[in-house]
Structure 1
Amino acid sequence: MKKFLSIIMALVLSSLTLVGCQQADSDTKKIGFIVSTLNNPFFVDLKKGVEDRAKELGYDVVVLDSQNDPAKEVSNMEDLTVKNVSMVLLNPVDSDSAVASVMIANNSDLPVVTVDRAANGGNVVSHIASDNAVGGAMAAEFLMERLGGVGNIVELEGTAGSSAARDRGKGFDDKIAESNINIIAKQSADFDRTQGLTVMENILQSKSDINAVFAQNDEMALGAQKALEDQGMKDVLVVGFDATDDAVDAVKRGTMAATVAQQPILIGQTAVDAIDKILKGEVIDAFIPVELKLITK
């Protein structure tokens, strides 16, 4: 009989422990993180920053990859509305199409913070990103100094419609306009290394008098650098944006001239800090900038 009672007590205690664990789990707040793509080192680092800081602050993170597809992004947001998350951190594929995703969250009373790229509509609590226009101007100032204010530049643009491409381009173009440097070609390569290579190869078929290339991210810059190298054009200055590991290595080797450091891990950490404050009832700024710096040899 005593043995039977011991077994019963053990089962009861085990059940209470399980209930306690389940209760603790249910008390852990979850953050939904929709990332534009994980097929890019920058966004892999952004994800790391989000997950590491969330763990430090006691949050779980549900990560969904949009695979650079606006329709997938909308589907991901719909999924998050039924996953019991407290807030959504959205890294849009495209700033215009992101409006649909933000509206889905708004209609479900789910607060949204955007990161790196903004949404062009809907109710967003805050936007955390580098000041891309300032970064574009930093790249322009570097090339103006290296070229002595004269020369021909090719500009590779990011995904059309994204705030990052728009702001980096504006910052760069406005500053370059203060010099006698000409932008002789400007074409989108969708923030992609392979497309950067292909687009640069196509440009080189009609343009040969090129002194520098500004690519609105490092992946395109590395693709452009490869195309130039294949043509023996090693003296062309290539400047990227993001300071990914591959780009920083290229700067150290001298195959790239510079890259604007966006610090994606810090952006992710800053975004989670902002969410933590919001969930605690604090008021935060509508835009929280993250510091940039220029990496050169």
Structure 2
Amino acid sequence: MKKRIIAIISVVLITGSIFAGCGQKAETKGDSSSNSKTLYFVPIVDTGAYWSPMKKAAQDEANALGYDLVFKTSPSNESQKNEKHLGFLDEAIQNDAAGIAVSPMDPDMFDKKVKEIKDEDIPVVTFDADVKTKDNRTAYVGTDNKLAGEELGKQAGEYLKSKGIKTGKIALAAVNLTQTTMTYRQEGIKKGFEKAMGSDAANFTWLEPIQDNDQAAESKKQLEGQITANQDMVAVFSLGSEGPDTGVMEAIKSQNKAGKIYHFGFDYTPTWENGVESGLITGIVDQDSYAIGKTVIDVLDKQIKGEKIDDNYPVPVKWIPADQIVEYGKEKQKQFTTETK
């Protein structure tokens, strides 16, 4: 009899332990209110005048709020870049991250994974680029790349009109033409340019866009070929990153087209300052990437704490003509070296 009682008690204790264990797992899995103080930050890259300040701002704000920030990214020329970054998100889930911030390169490919994160009750903020289904993420922080492109296209159109230019060829150069941000920028540029030029927009021909995988020598070579074949080229747009920025300026210089082919760029970089006096850059639109990095962490923190947040945190771009780039750069550098409080 004593043995039967002991056996029954053992079964009850074991069964209770199993249910307690299951309950504990269900309680902590993906629970943003758990003791985890780790945030994952997954940008497209983390170097260059656009991404570096963003990374610094995110790190500064995470430190100020008491979080451990894990950065995960890969080089621009990574052959399986999308798959690698999806793997970073899996790692974040497995490590019970309190929150995740990701810049999705493909809105469709990242859509399901971002939903999976949100379904695990982990706040997920997209930045710089968004996923296809807005309800799948917690919030978006960053520029509307179509509107940013539209602003650059409008400024370019108005500039060409001021020079009396009403016809000609136009080139574009980017790191990756299929990246969502780049396709949106191209679309916006053409729309803004057409608005500014009015009926004269039909007189311009857009050449096949150049992709250089962030290799300046490649964009230089391709643009030189386009200039040689199209002596009536009047403008070129570089859509962001050091490769196309530098390659385009070098091509314009090598073909003696400074002041004849007008160059419009995306995002501030000290590289532009080398082309101001020689007429290799006409003007840029700049995103406040430092504000993006800080806001991403703030939004994650608010969501983790159960505070009310918005669905979208837009960060507008600013038009900077060439003669203001150097002074603008001085102000940007001050911002980059100031830690958030």
Q: Does the TM-score normalized on the shorter chain lie above 0.5?
A: yes
Partner in structure 2 of residue 115 of structure 1: 127
Runs of 4+, deviation exceeding 6 Å: none
Find the residue that maps to 2:209 and give its secondary structure: strand
Residue 144 of structure 1 aligns with which residue?
Answer: 157
2:242 is the counterpart of 1:207: no
How much has 1:157 moved relative to structure 2?
4.4
Q: Please, which of 240, 256, 271 is the counterpart of residue 232 of structure 1? A: 256
With over 3 angstroms needed to count, the CA separation of the structure-2 counterparts of 1:71 and 1:256, relative to structure 1, is: same
1:42 aligned residue: 50
Corresponding residue for residue 295 of structure 2: 270
Which protein is bigger by CA-based radius of gyration?
2
Superposed displacement of residue 100, structure 1: 4.6
SS in 2 for 1:284: coil
- What is the match of residue 55 of structure 1? 63
Residue 295 (structure 1) aligned to one of 307, 317, 320: 320
CA separation of 1:250/1:55 partners in 2, compared to 1, >3 Å: closer, same or farther?
A: farther
Return 5+ residue gaps in structure 1 as ranges.
1-25
Distance of 1:268 and 1:248 partners within structure 2: 24
TM-score (norm 2): 0.72
Structure 1 Cα separation of the partners of residues 85 and 142 of structure 2: 19
Task: Give me the TM-score of the superposition, normalised by structure 1.
Answer: 0.82
Question: Structure 1, residues 141-169: CA drift from partner, whole Å, max 9, x if none?
Answer: 22222211623321224534433213222
Counterpart residue identity of residue 294, structure 2 = Q
Q: Does residue 101 of structure 2 align to residue 89 of structure 1?
A: yes
Which segment is superposed worse, 62-71 or 97-106? 97-106
Greater per-residue strand proportion:
1
1:150 aligned partner, one-letter code: K
Local SS of the residue matching 1:211: strand
Partner residue, 2:15? none
- Paired letter, 1:172: I
One-letter code of the match for 1:196? S
Query: What CA distance in whole angstroms lies between the structure 2 residues aligned with 1:44 and 1:238?
Result: 24
Partners of 1:157 and 1:186 within 8 A in 2 = no
Distance verdict in 2 for CA 1:188–1:107, change over 3 Å:
farther
Percent of aligned pairs with the same amino acid:
25
Q: 1:217 to 1:55 in 2, by over 3 A?
A: same
> 1:104 & 1:248 partners in 2: Cα distance?
44
Number of corresponding residues? 272
- Give the superposed CA RMSD: 2.4
Higher mean displacement: 204-213 or 226-235: 204-213
Matched, 1:164 2:181: yes
Q: 1:248 to 1:139 in 2, by over 3 A?
A: farther
**1:232-264, CA deviations, whole angstroms, 9 ceiling, x for partnerless residues?**
111211111011232355346642111111121
Deviation of 1:89 after TM superposition, in Å, equals 0.3
Q: 1:184 is matched by which residue type in structure 2?
A: W
The equivalent residue for 2:19 is none
Q: 2:214 aligns with which of 192, 200, 215?
A: 192
Paired with 1:30 and 1:251, the residues of 2 have a C-alpha distance of: 43
Q: Is the 8 A contact 1:218 1:240 kept in 2?
A: no
Q: 1:135 to 1:191 in 2, by over 3 A?
A: farther
* 2:124 and 2:300 in contact (8 A); partners too: no
Q: 1:86: how far off?
A: 0.5
Letter in 1 for 2:304: L
Superposition deviation, residue 103 in structure 1: 4.2
Letter in 2 for 1:169: Q
- Greater shift, 152-161 or 59-68, is seen at 152-161
Structure 2 SS opposite 1:128: strand
Determine whether 1:261 maps to 2:283: no
Distance change in 2, residues 1:156/1:137 (3 Å): same
Question: What is the identity, as a one-letter code, of the residue corresponding to 2:182?
Answer: A
Q: Report the Cα distance in structure 1 between the residues aligned to 2:131 and 2:68, rounded to whole angstroms.
A: 24
| Distance in 1 of aligned mates of 2:62 and 2:275 | 32
1:175-203 Cα offsets, whole Å, 9 max, x none, are 22232241431314266252432331332
